[in-house]
Each structure stands twice: as C-alpha cells, then as structure tokens.
C-alpha cells in the first residue's frame, strides 16, 4: 500500500496541478448517467424553532448561549427558519433542478431526552418534510447525527465518552428506520466524526470538549464507530430486505501533500491521511485502526474485540466524503500529546511563506481544486474503490453587513470553485475510474456556521438576516441551475 500511495501521490501532485487554475466549462451530461446532484444542510444550522413542538435541548443550544463561544455572539434559535419555511426552500431546489437534498434529523426532536419517550410532533415534522421533497421529485438523503447531541445525554453520562450511548443511538436510528424508511432510501449515520469526536481540532474549538485526559481522547470516536456498526447491523437484519435502502457514513477529509519531496515528508503525508480519514474509514473497511495510529498511540488507542471488529468490517454501503481544502504535511514530529493534531504532526496551508492556494473567508479553507481528484484516487487505491458520494463541498465568503445585497450576490469566486472542483471530480471518474456517484454542494442557503455564527456565508442563496430571512439567488445559484440544465 505504501509504495502505491507514494507513486500515486507524486503522480497526481505533478500532473493534476494543471487543472488547479483551469476554467474548463463542464456540463451535467458529462457525468455518468444516474449521477446525483444536490445540496446539503444540517438541522441545527437550518431549522431554528429550538423550543417548538417538544424538541429537547442540545449541546449546541447550551454552547451558543455561552458567553464568548461564538464569534459574533449569535445563536441558532431561529437560524434560517427552515422548520417553518421548508416548502419554500424546496421550491428553490426544484427550480435549480437538484436531484436530492441532504438534511439531518435532530435527535432531540425524536427523543427530547435522547432516549425514553418518543416525540410524535418531531416525527410528524420530518414526515412532512420527506413527503414534500418526494412530491417535488427530490430524493431525501438523511443524516441521523450532525453534531447536535441531546443535552440530556451529555448531562446523564457525558455523551460519547460513555459506551451507554451506543444503545441509545441504535434505538434512535431504528426509530427513524421504522418511521421514515419506507420513503428514505439513503441514510448517513454520522457527519464528520473526526470533527465532533475531538472538538479541540486545530481549525477552532467547537462544542464542549470530548475528553479531558490522554486516555479519553480517542474514546468518543471509538463509541461512534461501534454505534454506526450497531445501527447498520439493525438495518441489514430488520429493514434492508423490505425497504431496499442504503446506509453509509460521512467522513470529512482534507487532502494532504508533502511539504517537500523528501521521503520523510511523503511518509508524513500518508500518516496525516491515516489519522484524518483512516481513523474512521480503516475500521469500517478493514476492522481495525490504521497501523500508524496503533503504533504511535499504543495503549491510548482503544481496541476492538474480535466480535466488534467483525461487526465493523464492511458495515457500510457507501462512503460519504466532505472535502473542502488541501494542506501540506511535514515530518516534524511533535512530542506533545496535548491534542489529536499533535499526535499526528504539524500541518499547514503554507510552504516557504506562500499559501497552497487562494483563501476563502474561513482561515482553514484554501482553494485547491486538484485535491478532490487526488483524494478520490487515494480512496480508490487504499480502500478498493468503494462507492463514494461527495456529501459536502463548497466555500464561504465573509458576511459584510454593510455590503449592498446586489454586490453580495456576485460570487464569482464560488462559481470558479464549484466549476474547478467539479472538473477535477469528473476527471477522477472518467479518467481515473473512481467510483463516485453523487455530489452535494454546501450549501443551499447561507446559515449559522457553528462558532463562526453568521460571519460566514456558504450559500448558493443569500439570506438577508436583517429582513425576515429573505432568500436571494446568488450568481452561483444561477450558474448551478444552468449547469444542471446543460446537455
């Protein structure tokens, strides 16, 4: 694997650079027949209505109301109010020609306390949303967990730090399979466990940290994997035969390139990929953590029993990948064990003082279109070319409250980002044989962007936070509509 990875990495690094600044005009018809295009969202960032219809509180409700945790001191109590406006937002998707919509169910709307009594009003809401999507020819892709842990479970047993959460999540997942699985054919158990299982990630603090000691650091992710496997086992044994759906997981991954051509930095790049993507995908594909994690972490990394490993291996129908950016990795080991990042090694978007690409608004998001092609080839080579869906890809602009709306709608940089990333994704499919079947842009609307609050705009549609959350199509929305209509 190592030699194949190195050869592939160096090849793609050199030959794909030409596509980085390409302005190739692509068409929907260039993609394989049946390829799915959609937009993505999450319950906490979109819904609002946090105290309506029996919804329980989440860890993010608590954090958003904690002083100093969110850049602009905002919260998502209203967010973009999709709870009340989903019919209008579905019209926007239909007008664009989108095939699918990826949204998440709020666990605390189904079980306000995370377990126990089911909340019928929550079930009714998602039934209405799913039915409305299908009535408009839009396929629902449903994420069961997009970071919004019921606060009651955090208070009860520290959430993902406790193995008790495995059964509670499995019960919640099965309830969703029961209530919605006759119409929902594409399930995603978790969104970005690498992100929410650590929280102290280098790109910025998020919700209350997962663990406070070296022995706790990798436990949340371990429980996430076992919860995913438990949910998949239930689905395969009890629902798949009748419902004929698919279950996957969404993993976020940067692409990493070596800071130099030295063997040490190239090896460091592979190690970075294993700690990032491999942390979760290796157990799901091979039944255990990557070798680099097991050797570097030793007893700090939890172990799977033989039965757990068997349950994990192959426990997915597709791999969801959220990809936004590419960074460099360098073989300068950090002996500090203060974070997961330090357990891996330093990485940076800069080499010799120069950035790897043009930057979006977010300090971590650099525009490197060929990275998505390289990442797809890495997944193909390391994991045997599994079915992949790009479940998020996009870039943000700064929210400038004083900017006239007509100027904010002119988002040429986003158009170039989408065009060039899709061009490289298409090359990975057509030229490299990568098994990619779908693409979801992040995001349909500007929204509440976690600890960045409303300072960041990722949407194809501009949301006017000053005027009743009115939606306005940006130039990128028109571009996407034309792209989807192209032949």
Least confident stretch, 53-62, 63-72, 82-91, 425-434: 63-72
Enter the tokens of residue 477.
């929305």
Checking if the pLDDT of 339 tops 60, the result is no
- Beta-carbon contacts of 11 under 8 Å, excluding residues fewer than 6 positions away, are none
Tell me if 46 sits within 8 A of 151, measured CB to CB: no
Dist. CA 432–CA 426, nearest whole Å: 9
Confidence (pLDDT) at 198: 77
Q: What is the pLDDT of residue 67?
A: 87
The DSSP annotation for 325-340 comes to -EEEE--------SSH
Q: Where does the pLDDT of residue 215 fall: very low under 50, low under 70, confident under 90, or very high at 90 and above?
A: low
CA trace torsion 169, 173, 176, 178 (10° rounding): -120
Contact between 316 and 247 (Cβ < 8 Å): yes
Report whether pLDDT(19) > 60: no
Query: How much is the pTM?
Result: 0.94
437: burial class by Cβ within 10 Å (0-12, 13-18, 19+)?
A: middle
Q: What is the C-alpha to C-alpha distance for residues 355 and 134, in angstroms, rounded to an integer?
A: 44
- Judge whether residue 335 has pLDDT over 60: no
Dump pLDDT digits (tens) for 363-412.
999 999 999 999 999 999 999 999 999 999 999 999 999 999 999 999 99
Report the distance separating Cα 471 and Cα 481, nearest Å: 16
**Mean pLDDT in residue range 465-472:** 98
Q: Where are the alpha helices (DSSP H) in 197-249?
A: 219-238, 240-243
Which DSSP state fits 274? Answer: I
- By annotation, the residues acting in catalysis are 192, 392
Per residue in 198-214, pLDDT (tens digit) is 764 322 334 444 455 66
CA–CA separation, 422 and 143 (whole Å): 23
Residue 334 confidence class, pLDDT cut points 50, 70, 90? low
Indicate if the alpha-carbon torsion angle 208, 213, 216, 217 is positive or negative. positive
Reading the block at residue 237, the tokens are 């044994």
Over residues 233-277, the pLDDT tens digits come to 999 999 999 999 999 999 999 999 999 999 999 999 999 999 999
pLDDT cut 70: percent of the chain above it: 89
């Amino acid at each position: 694997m190592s030699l194949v990875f190195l050869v592939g990495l160096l090849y793609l690094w050199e030959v794909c650079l030409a596509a980085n600044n390409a302005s190739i005009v692509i068409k929907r018809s260039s993609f394989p027949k049946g390829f799915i295009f959609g937009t993505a969202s999450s319950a906490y960032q979109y819904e609002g209505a946090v105290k309506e219809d029996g919804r329980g509180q989440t860890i993010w409700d608590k954090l958003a109301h904690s002083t100093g945790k969110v850049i602009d001191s905002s919260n998502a109590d209203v967010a973009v109010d999709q709870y009340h406006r989903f019919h209008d937002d579905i019209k926007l998707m239909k007008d664009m020609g989108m095939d699918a919509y990826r949204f998440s169910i709020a666990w605390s709307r189904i079980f306000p306390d995370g377990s126990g009594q089911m909340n019928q009003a929550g079930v009714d809401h998602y039934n209405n949303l799913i039915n409305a999507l299908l009535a408009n020819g839009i396929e629902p892709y449903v994420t069961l967990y997009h970071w919004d842990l019921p606060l009651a479970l955090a208070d009860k047993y520290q959430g993902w730090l406790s193995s008790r959460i495995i059964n509670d999540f499995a019960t919640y997942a099965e309830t969703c399979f029961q209530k919605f699985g006759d119409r929902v054919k594409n399930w995603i158990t978790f969104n970005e466990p690498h992100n929410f299982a650590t929280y102290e990630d280098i790109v910025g603090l998020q919700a209350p940290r997962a663990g406070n000691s070296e022995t706790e650091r990798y436990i949340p992710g371990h429980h996430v994997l076992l919860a995913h496997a438990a949910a998949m086992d239930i689905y395969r044994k009890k629902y798949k035969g009748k419902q004929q759906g698919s279950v996957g997981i969404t993993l976020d991954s940067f692409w990493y390139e070596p800071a130099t051509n030295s063997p040490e930095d190239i090896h460091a790049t592979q190690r970075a990929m294993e700690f990032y993507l491999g942390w979760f995908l290796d157990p799901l594909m091979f039944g255990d953590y990557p070798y680099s994690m097991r050797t570097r972490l030793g007893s700090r990394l939890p172990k799977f029993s033989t039965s757990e490993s068997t349950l994990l291996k192959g426990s997915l129908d597709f791999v969801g990948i959220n990809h936004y950016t590419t960074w460099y990795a360098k073989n300068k080991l950090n002996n500090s064990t203060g974070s997961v990042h330090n357990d891996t090694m330093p990485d940076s978007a800069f080499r010799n003082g120069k950035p790897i690409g043009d930057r979006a608004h977010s300090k971590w998001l650099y525009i490197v279109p060929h990275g998505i092609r390289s990442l797809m080839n890495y997944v193909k080579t390391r994991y045997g070319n599994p079915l992949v869906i790009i479940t998020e890809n996009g870039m943000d602009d700064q929210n400038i409250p004083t900017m006239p709306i007509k100027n904010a709608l002119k988002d040429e940089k986003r158009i170039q980002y989408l065009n060039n990333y899709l061009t490289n994704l298409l090359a990975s499919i057509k030229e490299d044989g990568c098994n990619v079947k779908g693409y979801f842009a992040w995001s349909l609307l500007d929204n509440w962007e976690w600890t960045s609050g409303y300072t960041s705009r990722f949407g194809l549609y501009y949301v006017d936070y000053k005027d009743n959350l009115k939606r306005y199509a940006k130039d990128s929305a028109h571009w996407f509509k034309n792209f989807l209509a192209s032949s």
